[in-house]
Amino acid sequence: MAVHQPLPDLPPPPSERGLWGWFRQNLFSTWYNSIASLVVGYLLIIWLGPVINWALISAVWTGEGTDDCRPGAACWIFIQQRLGFFLYGFYPAELRWRPNIVFVLFLITVVPQFFPRAPGRKWLALFGITGLPVLGFVLINGGFFGLDPVATSRWGGLMLTLILAYVGIIAALPIGVVLALGRRSEMPVIRGICVTFIEFWRAVPLITILFMASVMLPLFLPQGVSFDKLLRALIGITLFQSAYMAEVVRGGLQAIPKGQYEAAQALGFGYWRSMRLIILPQALKIVIPGIANTVISLFKDTTLVLIIGLFDLLGAVRSTLSDPAWRSVAAEGYLFVALCFWIFCFGMSRYSHNLEKKLDTGHKT
């Protein structure tokens, strides 16, 4: 019996294949695209060339001090020699194993979150939001179990940035969810409180809040009573970000069709059970991009603490830029800060993408 056997597909014509095909399709599909590509390409070559040359090819990587640096070339010795300060601030060098342990634990809890099949992922996440902050505080601050106490004024650098961001994120998200639920509550008092809180914190710039916390608050406290400066900044950042988080979550709550609420009621669920089991899981899933956005902006906003004299990564770098022992190293310093921030922010962005894909249940039309 003769079976109809179609011939195998011909390969696409050479003009549509490989590198050339990609170029044709993406860069030179029309005459105006071609012109734009050529102009941008030319600009990239004349700009990127010198930058790469400055930052990598002719850059100085090894040496003792400013005398080994050349004009017109990046001087990475500066970053190398100050790395300890940029990462830990004034944290005593012999005690840096303590924040290191916390950082390793942080990686152990966070990295598996990128791999859906990692064992014990959920338990690690739970540890990350409960045990890790407590353990981190005990280890970094000291004062327990015979660990030498290290005053918060000695915390700094990337370590401080991560602490501010981490505590801010894991505190702001639950507060934000509660505020969002409160704002949609049918009880006028609760709704009133939540609306006032959200609108107050959203209407004030973060700089103002930090400034008030650091300059005004101590004046209102009785003489001799003082609050730790880092704690004040942390509370300020958390309250500020939880207001933003609340509005993001509210967006998700409003996107859930009324039928879902009614279905939950029909099943005989009370308020908390229907929220926990039906509404919030769906609402939070919808607003993952919004939450990631807020989290990333929180991470970057932590640099504002430098105006109240806390040495976060940017503050630590800035304070050493004017060091007369070095010729101008501002470009290297800021580039280093930018790179650190990019790594963390890009990581968060990838994680949120991952999460979106994993939780996608195909309800989109």
Partner 1 sequence: MKKTLASISLATAGLLTLGMQAQAATLEDVQSAGELRCGVSTGLPGFSQPDSDGTWRGIDVDTCRAVAAAVLGNADAVEFVPLTAAERFTALQSGEIDMLSRNTTWTTVRDASLGLNFTGTNYYDGQGFLVKSELGVDSATQLDGASVCIQAGTTTELNLADYFRANGMEYEAIVFDTSEQSVSGFDNNRCDILTSDTSQLAALRTQLSDPSSAVVLPEIISKEPLGPVVRQGDDEWFNVVKWVLFLQINAEEYGVSMDNVDDMLSSDNPNVQRIVGTAGDMGDLLNLPADFGYQVISQVGNYGEMFERNVGPDTPIGLSRGVNALWTDGGILYAPPVR
Can you tell me the distance from the alpha carbon of 54 to that of 58, in angstroms, rounded to the nearest whole number?
Answer: 6
Our CB check for partner 1 shows the closer of 283 and 308 to be 308
Q: Which residues touch 23 (CB under 8 Å, ≥6 apart)?
A: none
Query: CA-based angle 144:157:224, to the nearest 5?
Result: 55
Question: Which positions lie near partner 1, rule CB under 8 A?
Answer: 71, 81-82, 84-85, 88-91, 93, 141, 143-144, 149, 151-154, 156, 211, 214-216, 218-219, 221-229, 231, 306-311, 315-316, 318-325, 327-328, 330
Minimum distance, C-beta of residue 321 to partner 1, in the bound complex (Å): 6
The least distance separating partner 1 from the CB of residue 135, rounded to whole angstroms, comes to 13
190-219: b (≥16 Cβ within 10 Å) or e: eeeebeebbeebeeeebeebbbebbeebee
In angstroms, the CA 120 to CA 245 distance is 28
> Residue 133 CB, nearest distance to partner 1 (Å)?
14
How far is 83 from 277, CA to CA, in rounded Å?
Answer: 47
Give the residue with the Cβ less far from partner 1, 152 or 294. Answer: 152
CB nearer to partner 1: give 184 or 318: 318
For residues 85 and 240, which CB has a smaller minimum distance to partner 1 in the complex?
85
Nearer to partner 1, 155 or 244 (CB): 155
Nearest to 63 by CA among 73, 50, 52: 73
Shortest Cβ 149–partner 1 spacing (Å): 8
CB of 338 to partner 1, least distance (A): 16
Instruction: Find out whether 169 and 177 touch, Cβ atoms under 8 Å.
Output: no
- CA gap 314, 333 in Å, rounded: 9
Q: 22 vs 97, which CB is nearer to partner 1?
A: 97
Quote the CA–CA distance of 51 and 74 in Å, as a whole number: 9
Side chain identity at residue 292, one-letter code:
A
Q: How far is the CB of 137 from partner 1 (least distance, A)?
A: 9
User: What span, in angstroms and rounded, lies between the C-alpha atoms of 315 and 309?
Assistant: 8
Pick between residue 10 and residue 134 the one whose CB is nearest to partner 1: 134
CB of 106 to partner 1, least distance (A): 21
Residues in the chain: 365
